[in-house]
A = this chain, B = another copy of it.
Amino acid sequence: MVRMADVARAAGVSVMTVSNVLNERLPVGEETRARVMAAVEDLGYEVNLTARHLRAGRTDTVAFVVPSFHDYFGELADQVAPLIEAQGRHLVLERTSANAQQEMEALSVARLQTYDGVLLSVAGLDLEQLGLVRTAKPIVVLGERDVPDHLNHVRLANESGAALATAHMLERGSRRILALGCSFDAAHMMTTDRRVGWEHAYREAGLTPDPAYVVPVSDYTSRGGREAMLDVIASGLPFDGVFAVTDIVALGALSALVDAGLRVPDDVQLAGFDNLDMSRFIPPGITSVDANHEGVAEAAVRLLHRQMSGWTGPAEHVVAPVRLVVRGSTRGDS
């Protein structure tokens, strides 16, 4: 590896002069600068960022830690990246590996401190694990779980979103709406909050939600949604609407409904949550609660930036508002 000292020797100057040429920190004579640049070109020198980071105590880099690189997180990350870059920093994505347990304790926490700040997306982590994130680093937690008070947190308005979608389908004539992928599992806040929203919409409409219509999925994939949906159909439970906990699950449900010969939205209305890019285009268009990537990204970056700027006030807990995007999978005005 070619070091700055090598360049200095080749150009017949001191290392500091090389550094000053490259960083334009102190002024350097024109003729000297030219000699240095020539040597840099010649040797193919590139600054060692690791050394610079150590010396500077900063990396100008922010990590976004996600459970997987897929779908929702990929889309959100694409929103976050430009905002971080606008601050002159750089964004990298890290994945909490499969074995979140040991990972969190052993490696990740130590690794995170190579970054100036961390956006931590919690899906697989529970409160207890979050408790041991006691790093002094600026950190903002994203996601639908409860987090310790002292951590900055951005989440979606899950309840109101689910209620919007459900109310919309009730309004358009559905009376038996499945809450697919929702749950009563207190440990899984997202699916629970969305179930509560579903219940609220029922009550708001003067109806009583039936717990039998809360149908769990084995995993939050299209496959999981499809299988749960097929089970419901096979069981004979009558239904005329599906609120799926995510668009991914909704897609699985749609696949099952079509296979079973049920028409969407004529026989069954369908709505999801997240408003993924694809949801607009999947025929007949999936009605979905927009996950407000823009708002979430903006809030998260703002909170993070504030911490990185030295602010040490109390943590903020932002609930990003959501809105319903109506498409062909639910019925028009009747």
Contact = CB atoms under 8 A, between A and B. Distances in A.
A47 interface: yes
B81 A97 contact: yes
A78 B85 contact: no
A308 interface: no
Contact of A48 (B69, B107, B113, B221): B113
Q: How many of chain A's residues touch chain B, expressed as a range?
A: 35 or more
A211 interface: no
B114 A222 contact: no
A278 interface: yes
Contact of A281 (B57, B59, B63, B226): B226
B59 A70 contact: no
Contacts of A94: 90, 92-93
A110 B222 contact: no
B111 A93 contact: no
A26 interface: no
A238 interface: no
A185 interface: no
Contacts of A285: 255
A171 interface: no
A69 B93 contact: yes
Interface in A85-115: 85, 90-95, 97-98, 107, 109-111, 113-114
Contacts of A177: none
26 contacts: A1-B57, A44-B134, A48-B113, A49-B110, A49-B111, A50-B50, A50-B114, A63-B92, A68-B74, A69-B73, A69-B77, A70-B75, A71-B74, A73-B74, A77-B95, A90-B94, A92-B93, A93-B94, A222-B277, A222-B281, A226-B281, A251-B282, A254-B281, A254-B283, A258-B284, A282-B282
